[in-house]
Amino acid sequence: MSVDRRQFLADATKFLLLTGAAGQAWAFVAEGRPQDAPDYDIARHWWAMFIDIEKCIGCGRCVEACKIENDVPDEPFYFRTWVERYYIPARDVTSPRAEDHPKVDSPDGGRHGFPDIYPKEDGSKSFFVPKLCNHCAHSPCVQVCPVGATFESPDGVVLVDKDYCIGCRYCVQACPYGCRFIDPRTNTVDKCSLCYHRITKGLTTACCEVCPTGARQLGDLRNPADPIHELLRTHKVQVLKPNMATGSKVYYNGLDASVR
Amino acid sequence: MHNLLPGVEGFMYPNEMELQWSVLIVLYPFITGLVAGAFILASLERVFNLEAIRPTYRLALLTALAFLIVAPLPLQLHLGHPERSIEMFLTPHKTSAMAMFGFVYLWYLLAVLVIEIWLEYRPYIVARAQSAAGWSRWFYRAATLGSYNLSPRALRIDDRIGRLITVVGIPSAFLLHGYVGFIFGSIKANPWWSTPLMPIVFLFSAIVSGIAAVLLIYFVYCLARGIPLDMPCLDAMGKFLFYAFLVDFGLEMLDLVHRNYEADESLKTLSFMVETRLFGSQIVLQIIVGTLAPLLLLGLTQLLSLTEAARKGLYATAGALTLIGIFAMRWNVVIGGQLFSKSFLGYTTYKMEFATREGLLPALVLIVLPFLILWALVRIFPPMLEYDPGRKPEANPALPAEPEA
Ligand code: SF4
Ligand code: SF4
């Protein structure tokens, strides 16, 4: 690839900052007055995320940031985003298809990083997979909600109206990725909102903001100037469980076949 | 591995640790299945004029009603916000299978079951409205809805409408329970549920459980009242139960064979689950105790010529085992479908609570409740044709003269 990716990103980001609604909004955000940002035009965005597994170091800062930013219940088993570690033992004659038996863990959602428990340099491989709601374009959770409390907004974000949710949990069953949970404080469903309160003000999500390696990047598929287009063009990407045909909009670079 | 919870094995997505649907959701398909099954049994008599099972006709209708009244309760109890459930009627989401529940339910309750029962009991209601005293007189008067006309012509019209409603009612009963199967069968995220066979399996198991329940209720009713059991009726029910069960079992085996032969990515996980966590409830209770044993007992009654006493014993035992088996089947569908991770890499356990909103105690109450309602119903509407004016006026000299004619 002849493109200098870093340079491209820098240019594209500048371009992004100087044009479009997000750019205008950013000026206000930078001044500390995000509430004064010009009206967000919902029809001009369609949000997605790019996750680079090659870059994720499993530090768990995204998980922590999400918990704080979105007031996610503190207990271990409620996550809007979490990180999984995959460990695929070395192939040997007894298990030639080692990827069928990955060892996976996600202690407290990977929030505090991962204990170093696996041997290295022995033919095994290990990597981290950050997960969140895929903001599916053909989302099964939206399809099954009996009252329409879960819906897809025109800018491609799957959201939950907590004042409307009856707490039937049908959507939790219907999500193939385990992205939803019932908030014990409200008895309604909760999940990643793609930091809707931030992205409509021209900010990126909390998880993308804190990621030290840039492994997670928010992208706007309706903005031709968004760097995500170049990322998707220059990488071989895959979505989780493509056989589910959910129209997932979280694209992974370097997704291994063992990842479920 | 970092298993923070006891009962968890392998890897579950973090949000999957908590089971979403409890024993109450097991009751929901079990109860609606009894409703649909009991109604279909009653319809057999009505539409195909099967005289043999006539003694159970009214009992079957009342059983269906008693269970139908209770059917929405487990759902309500389970909701995080029961007070908002009205939104399912006001703003139903058209693509949601679950949103239709209220409509299917109300249709079935009001357009089918209640009208059919009313027509069936109209002569009795009119007679009681004229002969009873005190409160019950008022009750039966209200129940006549102002119509005292029992002329042969009016009764013929009743009969024709009743027949029509039954004809509409059979597909409605199919709808009611096939639909419950669809709620599970259409979840592509869950391979344990996702099969187009699900509604059909649910339907046949519903018919099986309905016949078994009415058979047992008929037994108990007759014993309690000192009424002799009608042997041709029992034999006919035993036969229906046997053949419906064969079809049901065949369908479930088809599902099993198909899964094993197709062997998609979920197979290893699911069969491991059946061999371990579901072994007791699936292999032992559902298949051996609840399916093969009753099929064997019923098969004996079909093949050998046994004494009446022996047949009665076999029917009652088979009926009870059948209900255990069908309950286990509902359990295995609902709970089993949540014991494995959608990552196919791990398993969790269901820990039933006791005196909580979704615990064992409310579940027991909800199981007993339909029987209490049925007990009240049979006091108001006697189910045995020969003990009250039935819907054939000429067969009932006790029927009062037409008041207005
Ligand atoms: S990932 Fe799950 S919760 Fe998110 S949109 Fe898709 S189905 Fe819905
Ligand atoms: S839990 Fe809430 S959001 Fe989910 S399907 Fe039920 S009503 Fe809809």
Residues A214-227 pLDDT 10s: 999 999 999 999 99
Q: Give residue A101 CA to ligand 2 midpoint distance, Å.
A: 34
Assigned domain for A186 exists:
yes
How many Å lie between the centroid of ligand 1 and the Cα of residue A153?
13
CA distance B20 to A8: 46
Distance A182 CA to ligand 2 centre (A): 9
Contact assessment for residue A26 and residue A17, using Cβ atoms and an 8 Å cutoff: yes
Using CA positions, which residue lies closest to atom 8 of ligand 2?
A145
Same domain, A136 and A25: no
Domain assignment of residue A20, yes or no: yes
A15 & A62 share domain: no
Residue A144 lies in a domain: yes
Q: Which residue has the tokens 């907004």?
A: A153
Atom 7 in ligand 1: residue holding the nearest Cα: A175
Residues A127 and A197 in one domain: yes
| A25, A95: one domain | no
User: What tens-digit pLDDT sequence spans chain B (405 residues)?
Assistant: 444 577 899 999 999 988 999 999 999 999 999 999 999 999 888 888 888 999 999 999 999 999 999 999 999 999 999 999 999 999 999 999 889 888 888 888 888 899 999 999 999 999 999 998 889 999 999 999 999 999 999 999 999 999 999 998 888 888 888 889 999 999 999 999 999 999 999 999 999 999 999 999 999 999 999 999 999 999 999 999 999 999 999 999 999 999 999 999 999 999 999 999 999 999 999 999 999 999 999 999 999 999 999 999 999 999 999 999 999 999 999 999 999 999 999 999 999 999 999 999 999 999 999 999 999 999 999 998 654 444 444 444 344 433 332
Where in A7-149 does DSSP place strands (E)? 47-52, 81-88, 103-105, 125-132
Cβ of A134 below 6 Å from ligand 1:
yes
Among the partner residues B16, B17, B81, nearest to A167 by beta-carbon distance: B81
Q: How many CB atoms lie within 10 A of CB B263?
A: 10
Q: Yes or no: say if A112 and A61 are a contact pair by the CB < 8 Å rule.
A: no
The reply to whether A55 falls in a domain is: yes
pLDDT in tens, A147-197: 999 999 999 999 999 999 999 999 999 999 999 999 999 999 999 999 999
Atom of ligand 1 nearest to the CA of A134: 1
**Does A149 fall in a domain?**
yes
CA distance A4 to A219: 19
**Chain A residues inside the 8 Å CB shell of B81:** 165-167, 187-188
d(CA A202, CA B145): 65
Cβ contacts of residue B31 below 8 Å, gap of 6+? Answer: B67, B70, B71, B74, B366, B370
Residue A160 beta carbon below 6 angstroms from any ligand 2 atom: yes
Chain B residues with CB-CB distance to A84 below 8 A = 11
Helices B57-70 + B360-380 axis angle, to 10: 140
| ipTM > 0.85, yes or no | yes
Classify A19 as helix, strand or coil.
Answer: coil
Residue B82 Cα to ligand 2 middle (Å): 12
Say what the pLDDT of residue A15 is: 45
pLDDT higher at A13 or B287: B287
Q: Is A136 a pocket residue for ligand 1 (Cβ < 6 Å)?
A: yes
Q: What is the pLDDT of residues A87-122, one digit of tens each?
A: 999 988 887 888 888 999 999 999 999 999 999 888
> Residue A89 gets which letter from DSSP?
P
Same domain, A180 and A200: yes
Please tell me the total count of domains within chain A: 2
Q: Are residues A89 and A180 in the same domain?
A: yes
pLDDT of residue B172: 87
Which ranges in B231-279 belong to alpha helices (H)? 231-262, 267-275
For chain A, list the strands marked E by DSSP. 47-52, 81-88, 103-105, 125-132, 150-152, 158-160, 181-183, 188-190, 216-220, 237-238, 250-253
Residue B80's closest chain A neighbor by CA?
A167
Same domain? For A69 and A108 the reply is: yes
Residue A21 has pLDDT above 80, yes or no: no
In this complex, the residue of B79, B183, B188 whose CB is nearest that of residue A167 is: B79
Question: pLDDT value at position B402?
Answer: 36
DSSP assignment, residue B107? Answer: I
Taking contacts as CB-CB distances below 8 angstroms, the residues of chain A near B21 are 169, 173
All residues of chain A having their beta carbon less than 8 Å from the beta carbon of residue B80 are: 165-169, 182, 186-188
For A127, the domain range is 44-253
Confirm whether A259 is domain-assigned.
no
Whether residues A128 and A240 share a domain: the answer is yes
The pLDDT score that the predictor gives to residue B96 is 93
Residue A158 Cβ contacting ligand 1 at under 6 Å: yes
Q: Which of B11, B20, B341 sits opposite A172 (nearest CB)?
A: B20
- pLDDT, mean of residues A10-37: 56
Q: Match 């991770």 to its residue by tokens.
A: B341
> What angle do helix axes B23-48 and B152-185 make, rounded to 10 degrees?
140
The tokens for B148 are 């005292």
**Virtual CA dihedral for A207, A66, A245, A253, nearest 10 degrees?**
30
**Does the beta-carbon distance from B187 to A140 stay under 8 Å?**
yes
A28 and A146 in a single domain? The answer is no
- Tokens, residue B139: 């009750």
Residue A188, min C-alpha distance to chain B (Å): 6
Residues B56 and B233: beta-carbon distance below 8 Å? yes
pLDDT at A22 over 80: no
Domain annotation covers residue A260: no
In a domain, A215, yes or no: yes
**pLDDT at residue number A3:** 44
Tell me, yes or no, whether A119 and A25 share the same domain.
Answer: no
CATH number at residue A195: 3.30.70.20
From CA A62, how far away is CA A72, in angstroms rounded? Answer: 13
Is there a single domain that holds both residue A104 and residue A29? no
For residue B13, give the chain A residue with the closest CA. Answer: A178
- Asked whether residue A147 falls in the same domain as residue A19, the answer is no
Rounded Cα–Cα distance for residues B402 and B405 (Å): 6
